[in-house]
Amino acid sequence: MDLSRFIAQARRNVKRCGLEGEPMKPLQVELPDKPAAELAALVQAGWFTSESEVVRPALTEYVQHHRYALLEQFQREDIAWALQQQSPDA
């Protein structure tokens, strides 16, 4: 996918995800140098107004696409924890 199509898709995702006008919670994220530099270059080139404009829809889309796998993983971890908490007398 070329850069202009990627950017157009990212902007559509912001609107589709319902992120515009929503209350926002500040979040600090640490990225490896290479992706951080790529984000900064896109913003500096004027493709996006901020790094947040790129990160918000990407994170939202990731969670939406992986929601069930994440829920299953959390449930398995909760079950494993509960099994470890059982007393040996039970």
pTM exceeds 0.85 for this model: no
Look at 2-11, 28-37, 55-64, 65-74 and tell me which has the smallest mean pLDDT: 2-11
- Which residue shows structure tokens 């157009």? 8
CA-based nearest residue to 1, from 9, 90, 47: 9
| Tens digit of each residue's pLDDT (9 = 90 or more) over 48-79 | 888 888 888 888 888 888 888 888 998 999 99
